[in-house]
Structure 1
Amino acid sequence: MLEKNNNPHQFLLFIFSICQASRRLWTCLCGNSLYFFNNAKDSHYVEKMDLGGFVSLKDDSSRDRNLEAARLILRMKDGETRLTAPNLEARELWKGFLYSVIDLNVPTSLTLLPGQLQMLKEVVDKERSRRRTRNPARAPPSPLSVPLVGEIPACFRPVSRTEAEVLLERHPDCGNMLLRPGRDGCSLAVTTRQDLNGSVFRHYRVTQRDQGGYIIDVENPIPCATLHDVIDALVEKTAGTLQPFLLEEPYEENITYVSANDENGEKILHTAPTSPLPKAPALPPKQDRWCTSPLSRSPAPDRRILTSSVPASPTNPMRRLIHSPSPLTQTLNEELKMTLEKRRVSQD
């Protein structure tokens, strides 16, 4: 039985899934967990959600049949849950409760009345006290205490028995068998789900042998060398009816960041722009210093380079062509010699 008087606030819950229709449940927050009930008068819950796998919480702008209702999207590591509050004020208060027990701090970014903020402060103090006095022996075993050897299969999930059943029922298209830590913290277990006029769950213990390897503890124990062989053996024994549970972790679709308002210090969540940054203008192509026009790219030939590149063979016709003086050049040279000779004689 669950005592619901720890938190008087409840609201209708709708769980949306690709594979299942929405479910109408009541929920209440006790400690660091959400408990779900078929109606407000039930004393026994039908599902439980541990907020230790919290990822994000944001408003849902989609409309409900009740025009005054307001929705939330609670994203956990294993999927999303959509919550419906009676109105906007109740949604804001529920966001305050959830953030308070998750972060153990009263959120400052919400629009709440002074009395509501005082209520959240009391919730934080209660939750801190509860965690300090909680009996460690009753806490679920840590997955780190499980002596795993070798490569871990992708269908391994660090969840409890109840959480494994919820995962398999909520995502039937992702597989119907997962590997998880055992209750004693020293063994493992395989949880399976099949349909037979409803969900049928089975749990199999997997223990590690002292000499190495693992054993599926059934009436006729099945030895396996590795954890992958454990999964393969169950698939083979059921002729492929059981398939490993492979759930892709959700990723954010937009880049977000938190910044503080300079005036009041309030923190605001921003979404980065999705349009690409403008590119810098491209520089014009570098012109070659030898180019005489935009269409000309080849440098003019250098006479010195051309001359030096001719072989020094006396029989080479190119050498004779370059070094043989023209008649005009010979005449000019003779006149220059005569002028210099006259100048030298007059000076003597």
Structure 2
Amino acid sequence: MAASNRIGRGRSQLPTCYYEGFLEKKSIKDKMGRKLWTSLCGNVLFFYNNTKDNVYIEKLDLSDLVSVNDDRCRDRNLDAARFTLHMKNEDIKMIAPSLEARELWKGFMLSVSKLSVPSSLNLLPGQIHMMREIIEKEKIRQRLLSSPPPPLVTVQSDMPPCYHNVTRVEAEYLLERNSVRGNLLLRPGHDGTSFALTTCQDINGRPVFKHYRVSRSHEGGFTIALETPITCETLHDVVNCMLKKSNGVYVPLLMEEHYEKSITFIETNKENGERNVLCPKAPSPTPPVPPPKPAFVETKHENGETSVHLPRCPSPTPLPPPKPVPRNQTSQSETNTHETAYINVSNAGEYEMDQTACPPPPVLPRLQAGEKKILVPPGYCKTTSQRNGLSRVPKNIPKCERKHVDISELLEVLNRRRNQE
């Protein structure tokens, strides 16, 4: 069915062109026919105003073609050959410039629509061979359209490091400007489904560029389109194959992107109008976080009440009480207090003491039996003052008399001494 008059796609975006030439088209709606340049691309006829136009004005899908018949009516132009396309919904009349052109148009239209060479046409052997090749191409094209397209490799991690999303011209410019870093890169193809390898070599001071098409194979993987095609499983294998075939002459182009390490901005000074590059102030250090408070503990009692309190700290292990000492050994322990050094360790055998490193403690003179040493705080003179003391009191007083001391008599003695002084 013919499409409405509107601007369509360019020729570069259309399927492969099998045959083209001038045809005069006239449908039932058209009162007069128009001579248009016609191209058979795939199983669709595209019509142009002239041969130089890049955008078609109408198209006719031949998938609805039922049959093609010759028109036997006479025309003033004896060279003109009429034929009618019987579609499912309408009939379209065509006029070819010659009988030979009419037979070719009929043969190509029936071949791409029925996918078989028509036997009722008067065709030469070379023309029949040409139509068989077109039928094979059309079968492959329709099979690719019916099958789901393979997923495109768009994830950056699946791409080789030398992949750059640039066009053909941009790839040449990139390789020429960065010849020190590499001379080979992988880029997307012009059709959006294939890829291409672009290389650059300096010959006599002039850069020479070469481009290699990398297409997807139907069995999976990728194929480098050469006279002897090379099949690889992944794009990484494609790049490695080129490096191996060139004996290491080709080097992948790796571009190291530069990133700023600090935030800078340009600000205009309001006083003098100068523009300066400024850097924001560094944030103040985070204040120290106080230690978390101890969590409260809920305790349920037998009567159903619930109390909340802080967790108790474990109490220290109580020391065992000292063993009782007999009375006959008490005096000996008191007299030997200054002569014996004790180690307050449960297992004294675990520690060894160096006798040479530690000097022996000084030996204090023994006191006479019954004599007590006066304790003097540090910093005070050892000689006691006798003004307020009782040193004049005789020491050898029987114990029985010491128990019956009259306090009033003691006070009178003290007052008498004060008055004498």
TM over 0.5: no
Structure that is richer in helix per residue: 1
Determine which structure has greater relative contact order: mean sequence separation of CA pairs < 8 Å that are 6+ residues apart, divided by chain length. 1
Provide the TM-score with structure 2 as the length reference.
Answer: 0.31
Provide the TM-score with structure 1 as the length reference.
Answer: 0.37
